[in-house]
Amino acid sequence: MIKAQRGTKDIFGEESFLWQHILSNAQTVFQNAGFGEIKTPIFEATELFARGVGDSTDIVNKEMYTFSIGGADKSASSITLRPENTAGVVRAYIEHNISRQSPPQKFWYFGPMFRYERPQAGRQRQFNQVGVEMFGVEKASADAEVILSAVEFLKSLGLDNLSVELNSLGCKKCKNDYRENIKKVLAPYIADMCDDCKMRYEKNPLRILDCKNEDCQKILEKDEIKEIILKDYICEDCKTHFDELIEYLDELNIKYSINKLLVRGLDYYNRTVFEIKSEKLGSQSAVCGGGRYDGLVEMLGGPSTPAIGFAMGVERLCALIDNLEAPKLDYFIVSNNTKEAIKLASKLRNENKKVEFDYQSRKFAKQLEKASKSAKYAIILGEDEIEKGFYSVKNLENGEQKTISNFDDLI
Protein backbone atom coordinates (compact mmCIF):
# COMPACT_ATOMS: atom_id res chain seq x y z
CA MET A 1 0.00 0.00 0.00
CA ILE A 2 1.28 3.47 -0.91
CA LYS A 3 0.96 5.84 2.03
CA ALA A 4 1.05 9.63 2.35
CA GLN A 5 4.55 11.03 2.69
CA ARG A 6 5.91 11.65 6.18
CA GLY A 7 5.01 15.14 7.31
CA THR A 8 1.88 15.33 5.16
CA LYS A 9 -1.72 14.65 6.13
CA ASP A 10 -5.07 13.92 4.49
CA ILE A 11 -7.90 16.21 5.61
CA PHE A 12 -11.44 14.82 5.29
CA GLY A 13 -14.68 14.17 7.15
CA GLU A 14 -15.37 16.23 10.28
CA GLU A 15 -11.83 17.63 10.23
CA SER A 16 -12.47 19.19 6.83
CA PHE A 17 -15.44 21.06 8.34
CA LEU A 18 -13.08 22.47 10.97
CA TRP A 19 -10.82 23.76 8.20
CA GLN A 20 -13.80 25.28 6.38
CA HIS A 21 -14.82 26.95 9.64
CA ILE A 22 -11.37 28.53 10.05
CA LEU A 23 -11.29 29.68 6.42
CA SER A 24 -14.80 31.13 6.62
CA ASN A 25 -13.97 33.07 9.79
CA ALA A 26 -10.75 34.36 8.25
CA GLN A 27 -12.64 35.60 5.22
CA THR A 28 -15.25 37.35 7.38
CA VAL A 29 -12.91 38.96 9.92
CA PHE A 30 -10.19 40.09 7.53
CA GLN A 31 -12.50 41.33 4.78
CA ASN A 32 -14.52 43.25 7.38
CA ALA A 33 -11.24 44.97 8.27
CA GLY A 34 -10.55 45.89 4.64
CA PHE A 35 -8.08 43.13 3.71
CA GLY A 36 -8.52 41.73 0.21
CA GLU A 37 -7.61 38.12 -0.52
CA ILE A 38 -4.41 37.35 -2.44
CA LYS A 39 -3.39 33.97 -3.85
CA THR A 40 0.26 33.55 -4.84
CA PRO A 41 1.88 30.52 -6.53
CA ILE A 42 3.08 27.71 -4.26
CA PHE A 43 6.51 27.82 -5.90
CA GLU A 44 8.73 30.81 -6.62
CA ALA A 45 12.27 31.51 -7.77
CA THR A 46 14.66 30.26 -5.08
CA GLU A 47 16.37 33.64 -5.06
CA LEU A 48 13.19 35.25 -3.70
CA PHE A 49 13.45 33.33 -0.44
CA ALA A 50 17.25 33.43 -0.23
CA ARG A 51 17.13 37.24 -0.45
CA GLY A 52 13.81 37.87 1.25
CA VAL A 53 13.78 35.39 4.14
CA GLY A 54 17.54 35.58 4.68
CA ASP A 55 20.40 33.16 4.09
CA SER A 56 21.18 33.04 7.83
CA THR A 57 17.81 31.48 8.67
CA ASP A 58 17.16 27.79 9.29
CA ILE A 59 14.45 27.96 6.62
CA VAL A 60 16.89 28.83 3.82
CA ASN A 61 19.80 26.77 5.14
CA LYS A 62 18.00 23.57 6.08
CA GLU A 63 14.30 23.45 5.31
CA MET A 64 13.48 24.51 1.76
CA TYR A 65 12.23 22.14 -0.93
CA THR A 66 14.29 23.34 -3.90
CA PHE A 67 14.38 21.93 -7.44
CA SER A 68 16.43 22.63 -10.55
CA ILE A 69 14.34 22.75 -13.70
CA GLY A 70 15.17 23.11 -17.35
CA GLY A 71 16.53 20.91 -20.13
CA ALA A 72 18.58 21.13 -23.27
CA ASP A 73 16.18 23.59 -24.90
CA LYS A 74 15.97 26.03 -21.99
CA SER A 75 18.25 27.48 -19.38
CA ALA A 76 18.29 25.75 -16.01
CA SER A 77 16.72 27.60 -13.10
CA SER A 78 16.02 26.91 -9.45
CA ILE A 79 12.54 26.98 -7.93
CA THR A 80 11.42 26.46 -4.32
CA LEU A 81 8.12 25.42 -2.79
CA ARG A 82 7.18 28.39 -0.65
CA PRO A 83 8.28 27.97 2.99
CA GLU A 84 6.34 31.13 3.97
CA ASN A 85 4.17 33.60 2.11
CA THR A 86 5.36 37.12 2.96
CA ALA A 87 8.13 37.07 0.34
CA GLY A 88 5.66 35.91 -2.33
CA VAL A 89 3.14 38.64 -1.45
CA VAL A 90 5.93 41.24 -1.59
CA ARG A 91 7.00 39.90 -4.99
CA ALA A 92 3.40 40.27 -6.23
CA TYR A 93 3.19 43.76 -4.70
CA ILE A 94 6.26 44.83 -6.69
CA GLU A 95 5.50 42.98 -9.91
CA HIS A 96 1.99 44.41 -10.27
CA ASN A 97 2.92 47.98 -9.22
CA ILE A 98 0.47 47.89 -6.33
CA SER A 99 2.48 50.66 -4.66
CA ARG A 100 0.90 53.11 -7.12
CA GLN A 101 -2.44 52.63 -5.37
CA SER A 102 -3.39 54.78 -2.40
CA PRO A 103 -2.10 53.31 0.87
CA PRO A 104 -2.74 51.26 2.80
CA GLN A 105 -2.75 48.16 0.61
CA LYS A 106 -4.06 45.25 2.71
CA PHE A 107 -4.08 41.54 1.86
CA TRP A 108 -4.98 38.25 3.53
CA TYR A 109 -4.15 34.72 2.42
CA PHE A 110 -4.75 31.07 3.25
CA GLY A 111 -2.79 28.15 1.84
CA PRO A 112 -0.08 25.47 2.04
CA MET A 113 3.60 26.07 2.84
CA PHE A 114 6.46 23.57 2.73
CA ARG A 115 9.45 23.04 5.03
CA TYR A 116 11.66 19.99 5.37
CA GLU A 117 11.87 19.52 9.13
CA ARG A 118 11.02 16.97 11.79
CA PRO A 119 7.22 16.70 12.03
CA GLN A 120 5.95 17.75 15.45
CA ALA A 121 2.73 18.73 17.19
CA GLY A 122 0.88 21.23 15.02
CA ARG A 123 3.55 21.31 12.31
CA GLN A 124 3.91 19.17 9.20
CA ARG A 125 6.29 19.32 6.23
CA GLN A 126 3.32 20.47 4.20
CA PHE A 127 1.53 22.80 6.56
CA ASN A 128 -0.94 25.63 6.10
CA GLN A 129 -0.93 29.26 7.12
CA VAL A 130 -3.47 32.05 7.28
CA GLY A 131 -2.08 35.56 7.46
CA VAL A 132 -2.26 39.22 6.51
CA GLU A 133 0.13 41.77 5.03
CA MET A 134 -0.31 45.56 5.15
CA PHE A 135 1.75 47.99 3.06
CA GLY A 136 2.24 51.73 2.99
CA VAL A 137 1.75 52.94 6.60
CA GLU A 138 4.76 53.67 8.79
CA LYS A 139 2.83 54.81 11.86
CA ALA A 140 2.08 52.57 14.82
CA SER A 141 -1.62 52.62 13.92
CA ALA A 142 -0.81 49.99 11.26
CA ASP A 143 0.88 47.78 13.87
CA ALA A 144 -2.18 48.10 16.11
CA GLU A 145 -4.53 47.30 13.20
CA VAL A 146 -2.64 44.11 12.33
CA ILE A 147 -2.41 42.90 15.94
CA LEU A 148 -6.10 43.74 16.46
CA SER A 149 -7.02 41.73 13.33
CA ALA A 150 -5.11 38.72 14.67
CA VAL A 151 -6.79 38.95 18.07
CA GLU A 152 -10.27 39.41 16.58
CA PHE A 153 -9.78 36.42 14.27
CA LEU A 154 -8.72 34.20 17.18
CA LYS A 155 -11.69 35.43 19.22
CA SER A 156 -14.02 34.56 16.33
CA LEU A 157 -12.80 30.96 16.66
CA GLY A 158 -13.73 30.96 20.34
CA LEU A 159 -10.12 31.06 21.50
CA ASP A 160 -9.17 32.77 24.75
CA ASN A 161 -6.39 32.45 27.32
CA LEU A 162 -4.04 33.81 24.69
CA SER A 163 -1.06 36.03 25.48
CA VAL A 164 0.41 38.68 23.17
CA GLU A 165 4.16 39.18 23.47
CA LEU A 166 5.81 42.27 21.98
CA ASN A 167 9.27 43.62 21.31
CA SER A 168 10.90 46.30 19.19
CA LEU A 169 14.02 45.37 17.21
CA GLY A 170 14.56 49.00 16.26
CA CYS A 171 15.27 50.52 12.88
CA LYS A 172 18.26 49.63 10.71
CA LYS A 173 20.68 51.83 12.64
CA CYS A 174 19.77 50.90 16.22
CA LYS A 175 19.26 47.27 15.21
CA ASN A 176 22.83 47.20 13.85
CA ASP A 177 24.15 48.79 17.06
CA TYR A 178 22.37 46.12 19.08
CA ARG A 179 23.78 43.36 16.85
CA GLU A 180 27.31 44.60 17.43
CA ASN A 181 26.78 44.75 21.20
CA ILE A 182 25.40 41.20 21.17
CA LYS A 183 28.43 39.99 19.18
CA LYS A 184 30.82 41.73 21.54
CA VAL A 185 29.36 40.24 24.73
CA LEU A 186 29.01 36.76 23.21
CA ALA A 187 32.51 36.63 21.70
CA PRO A 188 34.12 34.85 24.71
CA TYR A 189 31.40 32.16 24.70
CA ILE A 190 30.68 31.50 21.03
CA ALA A 191 33.07 28.51 20.86
CA ASP A 192 30.86 26.72 23.42
CA MET A 193 27.62 27.37 21.57
CA CYS A 194 25.89 25.12 19.03
CA ASP A 195 26.91 25.00 15.37
CA ASP A 196 23.80 26.93 14.33
CA CYS A 197 24.63 29.78 16.72
CA LYS A 198 28.22 29.88 15.48
CA MET A 199 26.88 30.51 11.99
CA ARG A 200 24.28 33.00 13.27
CA TYR A 201 27.02 34.86 15.12
CA GLU A 202 28.56 35.87 11.79
CA LYS A 203 25.39 36.43 9.75
CA ASN A 204 22.63 37.47 12.16
CA PRO A 205 23.59 37.38 15.86
CA LEU A 206 20.07 38.38 16.97
CA ARG A 207 18.91 34.92 15.92
CA ILE A 208 21.06 33.49 18.74
CA LEU A 209 18.50 34.91 21.20
CA ASP A 210 15.92 32.57 19.68
CA CYS A 211 18.05 29.41 20.05
CA LYS A 212 16.37 26.51 21.89
CA ASN A 213 19.61 24.62 22.60
CA GLU A 214 19.95 24.15 26.39
CA ASP A 215 23.68 24.95 26.48
CA CYS A 216 23.12 28.15 24.52
CA GLN A 217 20.23 29.10 26.80
CA LYS A 218 22.49 28.73 29.85
CA ILE A 219 25.02 31.10 28.28
CA LEU A 220 22.28 33.63 27.51
CA GLU A 221 21.24 33.53 31.17
CA LYS A 222 24.63 34.88 32.33
CA ASP A 223 24.26 38.25 34.05
CA GLU A 224 26.61 40.22 31.78
CA ILE A 225 24.85 38.87 28.68
CA LYS A 226 21.32 39.43 30.02
CA GLU A 227 22.28 43.01 30.83
CA ILE A 228 23.06 43.67 27.15
CA ILE A 229 20.03 41.72 25.88
CA LEU A 230 17.60 43.57 28.13
CA LYS A 231 19.12 46.99 27.60
CA ASP A 232 16.75 49.57 26.14
CA TYR A 233 18.90 50.27 23.08
CA ILE A 234 16.38 51.53 20.51
CA CYS A 235 16.61 55.09 19.21
CA GLU A 236 14.17 57.85 20.14
CA ASP A 237 12.06 57.49 16.97
CA CYS A 238 11.72 53.74 17.46
CA LYS A 239 10.88 54.22 21.12
CA THR A 240 8.16 56.74 20.23
CA HIS A 241 6.76 54.31 17.67
CA PHE A 242 6.69 51.46 20.21
CA ASP A 243 5.15 53.66 22.91
CA GLU A 244 2.39 54.70 20.50
CA LEU A 245 1.66 51.05 19.75
CA ILE A 246 1.37 50.35 23.48
CA GLU A 247 -1.11 53.24 23.81
CA TYR A 248 -3.26 51.79 21.00
CA LEU A 249 -3.25 48.34 22.56
CA ASP A 250 -4.20 49.79 25.95
CA GLU A 251 -7.06 51.68 24.30
CA LEU A 252 -8.22 48.45 22.60
CA ASN A 253 -7.99 46.48 25.89
CA ILE A 254 -5.59 44.00 24.29
CA LYS A 255 -3.50 42.33 26.98
CA TYR A 256 0.21 42.11 26.21
CA SER A 257 3.64 41.65 27.75
CA ILE A 258 7.03 42.91 26.55
CA ASN A 259 9.61 40.21 25.84
CA LYS A 260 13.11 41.50 25.06
CA LEU A 261 14.16 38.02 23.86
CA LEU A 262 11.54 37.99 21.13
CA VAL A 263 13.33 38.38 17.79
CA ARG A 264 11.32 36.11 15.43
CA GLY A 265 13.04 33.71 13.05
CA LEU A 266 13.33 35.71 9.84
CA ASP A 267 15.94 38.27 8.87
CA TYR A 268 13.59 40.86 7.41
CA TYR A 269 11.94 42.00 10.67
CA ASN A 270 12.53 45.47 12.14
CA ARG A 271 10.83 47.54 14.83
CA THR A 272 7.68 45.78 16.07
CA VAL A 273 7.71 41.99 16.39
CA PHE A 274 4.99 40.02 18.17
CA GLU A 275 3.75 36.54 18.94
CA ILE A 276 0.43 35.27 20.25
CA LYS A 277 0.77 32.17 22.41
CA SER A 278 -1.43 29.51 23.95
CA GLU A 279 -0.49 27.38 26.95
CA LYS A 280 -2.54 24.57 25.44
CA LEU A 281 0.16 23.94 22.80
CA GLY A 282 2.86 23.25 25.39
CA SER A 283 6.44 23.94 24.31
CA GLN A 284 5.28 24.81 20.78
CA SER A 285 3.10 27.57 22.20
CA ALA A 286 3.12 30.20 19.45
CA VAL A 287 -0.04 30.20 17.35
CA CYS A 288 0.67 33.53 15.60
CA GLY A 289 3.85 35.42 14.75
CA GLY A 290 4.49 38.63 12.91
CA GLY A 291 6.05 42.04 12.77
CA ARG A 292 7.33 44.91 10.65
CA TYR A 293 9.50 44.43 7.58
CA ASP A 294 9.95 47.99 6.35
CA GLY A 295 13.01 47.20 4.23
CA LEU A 296 11.86 44.05 2.44
CA VAL A 297 10.02 45.63 -0.50
CA GLU A 298 13.04 47.77 -1.36
CA MET A 299 15.42 44.83 -0.83
CA LEU A 300 13.50 42.83 -3.44
CA GLY A 301 13.58 45.63 -6.01
CA GLY A 302 10.54 47.74 -5.19
CA PRO A 303 10.13 51.25 -3.80
CA SER A 304 10.85 52.01 -0.15
CA THR A 305 7.66 50.82 1.57
CA PRO A 306 6.76 50.32 5.23
CA ALA A 307 4.99 47.01 5.83
CA ILE A 308 3.76 44.72 8.59
CA GLY A 309 2.02 41.34 8.75
CA PHE A 310 1.53 38.06 10.57
CA ALA A 311 0.97 34.36 9.88
CA MET A 312 -0.80 31.63 11.84
CA GLY A 313 -0.42 27.88 11.49
CA VAL A 314 -3.79 26.35 10.62
CA GLU A 315 -2.83 22.97 12.09
CA ARG A 316 -2.08 24.67 15.39
CA LEU A 317 -5.41 26.49 15.27
CA CYS A 318 -7.14 23.13 14.75
CA ALA A 319 -5.42 21.81 17.88
CA LEU A 320 -6.87 24.69 19.90
CA ILE A 321 -10.51 24.39 18.81
CA ASP A 322 -12.62 21.94 20.81
CA ASN A 323 -15.94 20.21 20.17
CA LEU A 324 -16.82 21.75 16.84
CA GLU A 325 -19.48 19.56 15.25
CA ALA A 326 -20.18 19.52 11.54
CA PRO A 327 -23.68 20.85 10.75
CA LYS A 328 -26.31 18.27 9.96
CA LEU A 329 -28.11 17.93 6.64
CA ASP A 330 -31.43 19.71 6.40
CA TYR A 331 -33.13 16.62 4.94
CA PHE A 332 -32.49 12.94 4.28
CA ILE A 333 -34.91 11.49 1.73
CA VAL A 334 -36.07 7.98 2.67
CA SER A 335 -37.37 6.21 -0.42
CA ASN A 336 -37.12 3.06 -2.54
CA ASN A 337 -37.84 5.07 -5.69
CA THR A 338 -34.38 6.43 -6.47
CA LYS A 339 -35.55 8.45 -9.50
CA GLU A 340 -38.12 10.37 -7.43
CA ALA A 341 -35.66 10.76 -4.55
CA ILE A 342 -32.94 12.28 -6.73
CA LYS A 343 -35.49 14.62 -8.40
CA LEU A 344 -36.68 15.87 -5.00
CA ALA A 345 -33.09 16.21 -3.76
CA SER A 346 -32.26 18.35 -6.78
CA LYS A 347 -35.28 20.64 -6.20
CA LEU A 348 -34.39 21.07 -2.52
CA ARG A 349 -30.71 21.75 -3.26
CA ASN A 350 -31.79 24.45 -5.69
CA GLU A 351 -33.50 26.06 -2.69
CA ASN A 352 -30.11 26.04 -0.90
CA LYS A 353 -30.96 23.09 1.33
CA LYS A 354 -28.44 20.40 2.32
CA VAL A 355 -29.94 17.10 1.19
CA GLU A 356 -28.94 13.46 0.83
CA PHE A 357 -30.80 10.29 -0.12
CA ASP A 358 -30.17 6.54 -0.19
CA TYR A 359 -28.56 5.35 -3.40
CA GLN A 360 -29.15 1.64 -2.82
CA SER A 361 -32.91 1.39 -2.10
CA ARG A 362 -32.30 -0.29 1.24
CA LYS A 363 -35.07 -1.03 3.75
CA PHE A 364 -36.70 2.04 5.27
CA ALA A 365 -35.45 1.11 8.76
CA LYS A 366 -31.83 1.20 7.56
CA GLN A 367 -32.39 4.50 5.75
CA LEU A 368 -34.04 6.07 8.81
CA GLU A 369 -31.13 4.90 10.96
CA LYS A 370 -28.68 6.69 8.68
CA ALA A 371 -30.96 9.75 8.50
CA SER A 372 -31.11 10.03 12.30
CA LYS A 373 -27.29 10.33 12.45
CA SER A 374 -26.85 12.85 9.66
CA ALA A 375 -29.97 15.04 9.21
CA LYS A 376 -32.48 17.22 11.02
CA TYR A 377 -35.50 15.86 9.11
CA ALA A 378 -36.36 12.75 7.15
CA ILE A 379 -38.64 13.12 4.14
CA ILE A 380 -40.38 9.78 3.63
CA LEU A 381 -41.25 9.25 -0.01
CA GLY A 382 -43.08 5.95 -0.26
CA GLU A 383 -45.54 4.70 -2.88
CA ASP A 384 -48.52 6.55 -1.33
CA GLU A 385 -46.62 9.83 -1.11
CA ILE A 386 -45.47 9.60 -4.73
CA GLU A 387 -48.89 8.53 -6.05
CA LYS A 388 -50.92 11.14 -4.11
CA GLY A 389 -48.36 13.97 -4.27
CA PHE A 390 -47.61 14.66 -0.60
CA TYR A 391 -44.61 14.34 1.72
CA SER A 392 -44.27 12.66 5.10
CA VAL A 393 -41.74 14.60 7.17
CA LYS A 394 -40.23 13.32 10.42
CA ASN A 395 -38.45 15.56 12.89
CA LEU A 396 -35.43 13.44 13.83
CA GLU A 397 -34.77 15.36 17.05
CA ASN A 398 -38.17 14.86 18.72
CA GLY A 399 -39.73 12.11 16.60
CA GLU A 400 -42.77 14.15 15.50
CA GLN A 401 -44.10 13.36 12.02
CA LYS A 402 -46.47 15.33 9.83
CA THR A 403 -47.89 15.34 6.33
CA ILE A 404 -46.98 18.20 3.98
CA SER A 405 -49.23 18.68 0.98
CA ASN A 406 -46.97 20.57 -1.43
CA PHE A 407 -43.36 21.53 -2.14
CA ASP A 408 -43.68 25.18 -1.11
CA ASP A 409 -44.94 24.17 2.34
CA LEU A 410 -42.11 21.66 2.56
CA ILE A 411 -39.59 24.50 2.10
Tens-digit pLDDT profile for residues 238-260: 999 999 999 999 999 999 999 88
| pLDDT of res. 284 | 57
Higher-pLDDT residue of 381, 160? 381
Task: Return the higher-pLDDT residue of 109 and 193.
Answer: 109
Q: Give the span between the Cα atoms of 358 and 80, in whole angstroms.
A: 46
Report whether pLDDT(72) > 90: no
Q: How far apart are CA 195 and CA 405, in angstroms?
A: 78
For the entire predicted model, the pTM comes to 0.85
pLDDT digits (tens, 9 = 90+) for 28-71: 999 999 999 999 999 999 989 888 776 666 677 678 888 887 75
Per-residue confidence (pLDDT) for residue 57, from 0 to 100:
66
**Which domains does the chain show, CATH number per domain?**
14-160+255-320 (3.30.930.10), 329-410 (3.40.50.800)
**DSSP element (H, E) containing 14:** helix 14-32
CA distances from 262 to 168, 207, 211 (A): 9, 10, 11
Give CA separation, 137 vs 1, 141, 382, 402, in Å. Answer: 53, 8, 65, 61
Residue 220 pLDDT greater than 90, yes or no: no
